[in-house]
Structure 1
Amino acid sequence: MASSVPPSPSSPPSPPPRIRVGSAPDSWGVWFPEDPRQVPWQRFLDEVAEAGYEWIELGPYGYLPSEPARLLDETGSRGLRVSAGTVFTGLHHGPGVWDATWDHVASVAALARAAGAEHLVVIPAFWRDDKTGEVLEDRTLTAAQWRDLTSLTGRLGREVRERYGLRIVFHPHADTHVDTPENVARFLDATDPDAVSLCLDTGHYAYCGGDSVALIETYGERLGYLHLKQVDTGVLAQVAAEGLPFGPAVARGVMCEPPTGVPALEPVLAAAGRLGVDLFAIVEQDMYPCEPDRPLPVARRTRRFLRGCGV
């Protein structure tokens, strides 16, 4: 006789991994909390939504409203959600900078958490001034400075997770000490994967000689976040020949609208998709400074292009 006991219901299948696409104030030429050459924050929010994005980053702290209720009202009314906040740190300077660093990090992390974000993008300090090119310190860290950078970044990751529930994603960046493939590998090998994930910026990594697909295939378990941008190789050759700092290089157009530059984003997104994890892929079209009417058409075209890449 067949059993009359109904079979146990199976657990619902897990949703497939997602790559969630967004943009950032950077794509509207915003680098600073206040600057007369930048579009007002209201215009950024209006236009990023109009371009077809649902996710944004906070950008420089103080550009968007820093009162959580107002920020949520302004983003929510436009159908926008926040993926991350961003901080700059100089932890290679050692324990003496911890308190000041934490004060800044805590303000941004609290706002990001209140806005519903799950990530905090951490960018290391520049070794030369981003505008003037003035050399601020040696571009190569000592062994002791590497130890301070990696150990304190790990501490930052643990404390941000414990106090704010956010995961830090470390962003290698041009004109910082974590830039080239060799330095990125050294940083990743020396940090705790449970405390520190990687924010791979495809443009910065290409700018510094890196292959994003190779990095994903080698350190895929560390990838926690993506920034999407491309480099104009012709302009980059000029930048390298002239020794330009990053700010003037951007003003010259070294970061270009996809798909006109490198790396090709389709293989990057495919490699990230093969990891089988949820990821944010935030467009950062460095354009500081730019005319106020330029960003929206670029953002629309970029969103269409990314849809063609399957995201």
Structure 2
Amino acid sequence: MTAHAPVKFGVDLITFYNPSFWDLPDENAIQELSDRDPEAIWRKILDAAAEAGITSLEVTFGPADTDSIRRAFGGPEEFRKELEGRGMELKSAFYLEGSWEPDADRGAIADSAAAYARFIKEAGGDVLVAAPPMRTTWNARPPVFADFDLMKNVADIAHVVGHASLQEGVTTALHTEAHSTFCTARDVDLLMALTDPLFVSLCPDTGHLALSGGEPSHIVSRHRERVVLSHWKDATGPAPLRVPIDESIHDEHREYFRRVGAGSVDWFSWGRLMREIGFTDLALLELDAVADPVAEITAAREFIERSLAPVFP
């Protein structure tokens, strides 16, 4: 029997963005705290992550973003040393810069992606996670279809980001975001077909795929060779797709999300798939801004360690 190294557990830092965790009135107050005292933000997050058994991190947007890292630690290398001293590492960072518009300046996008990838590499990570653009609300006038032409433009920009990040030793992986142009089974199949696997990889998010009406293991199985990272979270089931898509849509998603093992995702199929493709070294857990992240992350980790042991080493 082949021996497997123990799985490492990671977390996307959005998990810690609930105001209740900070005893603050709203998310703006968390950002204000980060602006005023970034070290306090990072100290609380890193202490909580360690308590939950986390060793790998994915940095995302503020308040715990790359800007706050610079202000709290001085730069990416100092951040890496801080994590190493805690027995932790940076795995990835979510890229929200640049534009997906057809007339976007490709040179500016490449420069931005390269700079972000350089930060990731110097901080010890190796994956840049990029989210394709959101869909337009279904009844908009005029309608905007996620057709071949639109998706071809998304693929073209993904290639620009992927090429730029690869020059810095970092892999670009597209994230499956509910209500985006990369959320349904058809979207994933099409955009994976339109992108060069040498430059663009896949970061499936089980919760978002479930919200979009798909079974994560079925969808990802067709693109197993593209997976370089995955976000592990659960969902109550599909969410309505024909809803207003505006700045509040991500907040609307939160009522559907659950921690791993507490929703509709078939985790035994997912665990088997991750084992089959040899992706058993890291499970990156995520929930969107939960009030007690330590308890939720711990419960998710224990579910994987105990209940999935027969299929996921």
What TM-score, normalized to structure 1? Answer: 0.79
Q: What is the aligned counterpart of 1:147 among 149, 152, 174?
A: 152
Shift in CA distance, 72/169, structure 1 to aligned 2, threshold 3 Å? same
SS at match of 2:199: coil
Q: What is the aligned counterpart of 1:297 among 292, 295, 298?
A: 295
Offset at residue 206 of structure 1 (A): 0.8
Distance of 2:242 and 2:172 partners within structure 1: 35
One-letter amino acid matched to 2:258? C
Higher deviation after alignment, 98-107 or 182-191: 98-107
One-letter amino acid matched to 1:297? A
Offset at residue 266 of structure 1 (A): 2.8
Offset at residue 15 of structure 1 (A): 8.3
RMSD across aligned positions (CA):
3.2
Shift in CA distance, 108/89, structure 1 to aligned 2, threshold 3 Å? closer
- 1:170-249 aligned at under 5 Å gives the runs 170-233=174-237, 236=238, 246-249=249-252
What TM-score, normalized to structure 2? Answer: 0.79
One-letter amino acid matched to 1:190? L
Deviations 1:232-273 (A, max 9, x none): 13xx55x5686575323234x211123110213232021111
Per the alignment, residue 122 of structure 2 pairs with: 114
Per the alignment, residue 23 of structure 1 pairs with: 11
Distance of 1:136 and 1:99 partners within structure 2: 32
- 1:1-311 aligned at under 5 Å gives the runs 20-29=8-17, 35-37=28-30, 40-60=41-61, 61-62=65-66, 64-66=68-70, 67-88=75-96, 92-94=100-102, 96-127=104-135, 140-162=145-167, 164-233=168-237, 236=238, 246-251=249-254, 253-277=255-279, 280-287=282-289, 290-291=290-291, 294-308=292-306, 309-310=308-309
Larger Rg: 1
Aligned residues: 284
Kept in 2, the 8 Å contact 1:139–1:176? The answer is: no
Kept in 1, the 8 Å contact 2:111–2:164? The answer is: no
Higher deviation after alignment, 72-81 or 224-233: 72-81
Offset at residue 216 of structure 1 (A): 2.9
Per the alignment, residue 9 of structure 1 pairs with: none
Distance of 2:164 and 2:170 partners within structure 1: 9
User: Structure 2, unaligned stretches of length 5 or more?
Assistant: 20-26, 34-40
One-letter amino acid matched to 2:210? A
Offset at residue 183 of structure 1 (A): 1.0
Deviations 1:128-185 (A, max 9, x none): 69xxxxx7995523533322211231232122112x1011111121121111111111
Shift in CA distance, 18/223, structure 1 to aligned 2, threshold 3 Å? farther
Distance of 2:98 and 2:129 partners within structure 1: 14
Shift in CA distance, 55/84, structure 1 to aligned 2, threshold 3 Å? same
Kept in 1, the 8 Å contact 2:175–2:203? The answer is: yes
Distance of 2:59 and 2:244 partners within structure 1: 31
User: Structure 1, unaligned stretches of length 5 or more?
Assistant: 1-13, 130-134
Percent identical pairs in the alignment equals: 21
Deviations 1:214-247 (A, max 9, x none): 12322211222111011113xx55x568657532
Offset at residue 195 of structure 1 (A): 1.1
Shift in CA distance, 306/63, structure 1 to aligned 2, threshold 3 Å? farther
SS at match of 1:36: helix
